[in-house]
Structure 1
Amino acid sequence: MGLGFMTFAFFLGAGNIIFPPLAGFLAGEHLTSAMFGFLTTAVGLPLAGLVAAALAGGGLPVMGRYLPPLAITLMGSAIFIIIGPAFAAPRTGLVAYEMGVKPFLDNPGQGALTLYTLVFFGVALLLSLSQGRLLEAVGKLLTPLLLLLLVALAIAVFVNPQGTQPAVTEAYMAQPFVKGFIEGYNTMDTFASLLFAMLILDVLRKKGVTETRAQSRYLMAAALIAAAGLGFVYISLFVLGGTSQGVVADAGNGGEIISAYVLSLFGAPGLWILSAIVTLACLTTAVGLVSSCADYFHNLTGKGSYKGWVIGIAAACMLVANVGLNTLISVSVPILVALYPVAIALVVATFLRPLMRAPVFAFRLIMSVAFFFGLLDGLQAAGLDMSLLDFMPLFGVGMAWVLPTAIAALVGLVGGKASQPVTA
């Protein structure tokens, strides 16, 4: 149970709670379909990632052992950049600003955001340089507090909804499930599951659980508990967003919706409590991301000092955060659309591994196809004119990678030489 709660805490970043309310608000009458699409990527795929890691006996390095070492290094580096200075880490500061400071300011401008991000990531920098038991203890306290607040909010949403269902927007009109599926990419949790699996297995080893089957059993149980918790949180927040017409007239991000809803339900005291918990939760997440990224690149390159990497990454986070939350999310979408299929393909290939005649051939084929067609989807999501490719199945909804990757998986199961070595 404790391991499951720890796994849940790994995934429940404060930044993740801003996406379901906005999706629920925009989906309108198509809320249920959009929600199931979102849950598939935000809960189902991370769960699948952890289970695949349990079956493989390890995280990204073990799951990708049939790929060239350079490919795994690049994939690991890309994941750390995405969850580090490029998107996830700056997002923690922006969510803290949107939910912890902005509701109390009158017409805040760029100057307020710049000052806040400077202070926020300055504190994150100092804490990353001297990680201690105090921060760890605060982190362990904040997750239960944040969860309790979300449970109270969920109960209130179902018992006493504050508004009505908004009208469905154009983005969710035609393919709400697919739109919700792609929105789930924003949590970045499928990427994270490939790394968290290594952390969880390390915890198990330190507790004396060294037998492979026992590790797999514990990891699967933890994954199920975490998935149940995440599902509860996301469903509640979807319903919150789907009953917020009248609470907010319009919203650019989910942080605005949650803040307005909490103010309507609990008044100013509730908003202050939300502000404090989210700010501290975002800070602890930022410290974890900055320090882990600095440690990874310091060990990978062997150049510079850990302190130097921390300073550089924290400074990059502060600079990126100044684009604002809405802009950061919109910029991240094409990159996530391009790279998420690669993570999904790795998880699928890991499940199919026992059926493959030639794992090296199969893994490299599946991953290459997923990357190529994911890149096409990403270019389209970035706004490039890709109309020449409209003939491809699902290309119009940003999922052209699905059918080719499925075909590649089938070819991988029967193709290649069975005598091929494991590493090449």
Structure 2
Amino acid sequence: MEKKLSFSSSLVIGVMLFALFFGAGNLIFPAELGQLAGDQTWKAMAGFLFTGVGLPFLGILAIGFSGKKDLQDLASRIHPLYAVLFTAILYLTIGPFFAAPRTGAVAFDIGVAPFLNGFSIDLARFIFTLVFFGISMWLSLNPAKIVDRVGKYLSPLIIIILIGLIGMTLLSPMGSAQVSQAPYNETPFFTGFLEGYNTMDALASLVFGIIVINALRAMGITSKKQILSSTAKTGFVAAGFLAIIYIGIAYLGATSVDLFGYLDGGGSVLSETSSHLFGTTGLMLLGVVIMLACLTTAIGLLTACGEYFHAIIPKVSYKLFVVFFSIFCLVVANFGLANIINYSLPVLVLLYPLAMVLILLTFTGPLFHQSSLVYRSATITAFFVSFIEALVKFYSLVEKTMPNWLVTIQDVYTAYIPYYTEGIGWLVPVLIVTVVTAIVAIVTNKRMQAIQVVSTHEKS
């Protein structure tokens, strides 16, 4: 008889998954969105929820639905070499290059910096991040205990404190939403959609899905059907909490402009609101939330990165990878939050469409018999569009003049590719290529089956 996941176990793993997702950007980006979107907050949040909640949920389901052992195995449907490169770059992006260092940087900027009076910011940041990533490393060295440590203890505390902050905002409104600011005043949905990229959760879902499935297997859930069902339950719990918190924080940001004006970033919005509602105690409470949220995410990312790179380079131990990545995160975190966010943008613009295409094809694959033609064609199409977008972002970031060839391609894309200026130019070309190649794959498969039937009949 197949074992089923109990409600309590679904809740524990779902809350653990929420905490792994809910880190640095999940606090600051919705608050900033609310301030700038103003009276367009709900439209902007619809886009943000699509990429910040919907895609991560689909990513978790895709891992369970595919029946593959990990992301690299899933991406190998495109090509084995691509699978290694894509998976390694994705792990490095959500790990030591950007997302993991960002957890320490956000925790410092919001949880510690407001309390510094005359003390050196750079020295304080170094001391804090040294302790932060030291604790993250220690907790990551024993990944088997992650469900107990995160799901049962840290996560519920984060949820309780955040819901308390949002609840006070609802009971004591600070003001009304103002007129939306650029670029939300023109394209609120698409701007929110792209803002959801910054959470990096859709990328992380392809990694955290493996953690969930391993936790399920450790509880005796082994059949593909039960793994998919249990993954859906735990994913729904995590997605539900994420959506509630995002909407609440966006509302907080939207109603704060009346009282505070437009502040510099979501961290300032949260700090000012907490101080207004609860005084110094509120700031300290917010600091605790930030540190716990960022710590749980850092643990999950270090664990996942350590396990993956140990798997592809077994001569180097898991623990050595965790130590190395923790030190690397410490160094990157000390470049400051703004630099980490800015330099991650071109990479996210490139990786997100590739990840979304892989998720889409994972669910639709049975329709075209998992044809490599479809996987490769759709992925190459997404790459050619998103790569140009990433280059444009990079040149804008470093404030350098784009070369003529890039300007020409950019002009052609803008003129002929739907939604390119909105930031999702890859979508329509990928859908067209997927449909066309899927039809080719289905027709080819039917012909091959017919040939096999004729051949078998002749032999008999």
Q: Same fold (TM over 0.5)?
A: yes
Partner residue, 1:23:
33
The amino acid of 1:48's aligned partner reads L
State the Cα distance separating 1:73 from its structure 2 match. Answer: 1.5
CA contact (8 A) 1:25 1:244 kept: yes
Match of 2:16 in 1: 6
Counterparts of 1:198 and 1:155 in 2: how far apart (Å)? 34
Kindly provide the amino acid, as one letter, of the partner of residue 82 in structure 1: T
Structure 2 alignment gaps of length 5 or more: 1-6, 449-460
Contact 1:363 1:412 (8 Å CA) reproduced: no
For residue 102 of structure 1, what is the aligned residue in structure 2? 113
- The 5 A counterparts of 1:28-39 are 28-39=38-49
Higher mean displacement: 6-15 or 44-53: 6-15
Among 282, 299, 304, the residue aligned to 1:287: 299
Answer yes or no: is the 8 Å Cα contact 2:35–2:253 preserved in 1.
Answer: yes
Equivalent residue letter for 2:353: P
- Paired with 2:275 and 2:447, the residues of 1 have a C-alpha distance of 62
Say what the alpha-carbon RMSD is for the aligned residues. Answer: 2.5
Residues 377, 401 of structure 1: 8 Å contact kept:
no
Is 1:418 the counterpart of 2:437? The answer is no
Find the partner of 2:98 among 87, 93, 96.
87
Take 1:134 and 1:71, find their aligned partners in 2: how far apart are those partners?
A: 30
Structure 2 CA distance for aligned equivalents of residues 248 and 152 of structure 1: 21
* Partner residue in 2 for 1:118: 130
* CA shift for structure 1 position 144: 0.6
The number of residues matched between the two structures is: 421
Q: Is the 8 A contact 2:15 2:156 kept in 1?
A: no
DSSP 3-state at the match of 2:257? coil
Match of 1:380 in 2: 392
Q: For residues 247 and 314 of structure 1, do their structure 2 counterparts lie closer, same or farther at Cα, with a shift above 3 Å needed?
A: farther
Please point out which of 52, 59, 63 is paired with 2:62. 52
1:237-262 deviation per Cα after TM superposition (whole angstroms, max 9, x unaligned) = 11011011144334332122112111
Match of 1:227 in 2: 239
Which amino acid in the other structure matches residue 96 of structure 2?
P
Select between 133-142 and 289-298 the one with higher mean Cα deviation: 133-142
Q: Indicate which of 197, 214, 228 corresponds to 2:226.
A: 214
- Change beyond 3 A, Cα 1:362–1:131: closer
Residue 156, structure 1, aligned to residue 172, structure 2: no
Asked if 1:327 is matched to 2:339, the reply is yes
Q: Displacement, 1:236?
A: 0.5
Which residue type is aligned with residue 415 of structure 1? Answer: V
The alpha carbon displacement at 1:21 in A equals 0.4
Query: 1:170 is paired with a residue of what secondary structure?
Result: coil
Matched residue, 1:198:
210
Q: Could you tell me whether the CA contact under 8 Å between 2:38 and 2:177 is conserved in 1? A: yes
Aligned pair in 2 of structure 1 residues 285, 43: CA closer, same or farther (>3 Å)? closer
User: What is the CA–CA distance in structure 1 between the aligned matches of 2:353 and 2:33, rounded to whole Å?
Assistant: 21
| In structure 2, C-alpha distance between the alignment counterparts of 1:222 and 1:139, rounded to whole Å | 11
Return the offset for 1:164: 3.7
Q: Secondary structure at the match of 1:316?
A: helix
Matched, 1:404 2:429: yes
Distance 2:112 2:212 in 1: 34
From 82, 88, 93, the equivalent of 1:77 is: 88
Q: Distance in 1 between matches of 2:367 and 2:144?
A: 46
Aligned equivalents of 1:358, 1:217: Cα separation in 2: 22
For residues 307 and 361 of structure 1, what CA distance do their matches in structure 2 show?
39
Deviation at 1:136, TM superposition (A): 4.7
* Percentage of identical aligned residues: 37
Unmatched 5+ residue regions in structure 1? none
TM-score (norm 2): 0.84
How far residue 163 of structure 1 moved from its aligned partner, in angstroms, is 3.6
Quick one: structure 1 residues 361 and 419, their matched pair in 2 at CA, closer, same or farther if it must change by over 3 Å?
Answer: farther
SS of the residue corresponding to residue 304 of structure 2 reads helix
**Amino acid of the residue matched to residue 44 of structure 2?**
A
Amino acid at match of 2:157: L
Conserved 8 A contact 1:262-1:271: yes
- On the 8 A contact 2:78/2:376 being kept in 1, the answer is yes
Q: Matched residues in 1 for 2:234 and 2:307: separation?
A: 26
Whichever of the two has the greater Rg, that structure is: 2
Q: What residue number does 2:455 align with?
A: none
Q: Which letter does structure 1 place at the counterpart of 2:17?
A: T
**Equivalent position to 1:42, from 49, 52, 62:** 52
**1:57-68 correspondence runs (5 A):** 57-58=67-68, 59-68=70-79
Q: Tell me the alpha carbon deviations over residues 192-235 of structure 1, each in whole angstroms, 9 at most, x when there is no partner.
A: 21122222222222222222212211212222222221111111
Alpha-carbon separation, structure 1, partners of 2:56 and 2:135: 30
Alpha carbons of structure 1 residues 132 and 226: separation in structure 2 relative to 1, 3 Å: closer
Residues 60, 209 of structure 2: 8 Å contact kept: yes
Q: TM-score, normalised by structure 1?
A: 0.91
Structure 1: how far apart are the matches of 2:78 and 2:436? 17
Alignment-mate amino acid for residue 330 of structure 2: M
- What do the CA deviations read for 1:306-357 (whole angstroms, capped 9, x no partner)? 4432332122212211221122112111210111000100111112112115
Distance 1:401 1:220, change over 3 A: same
Give the residue type in structure 1 aligned to 2:20.
Answer: F
Residue 411 of structure 2 aligns with an amino acid whose one-letter code is: L
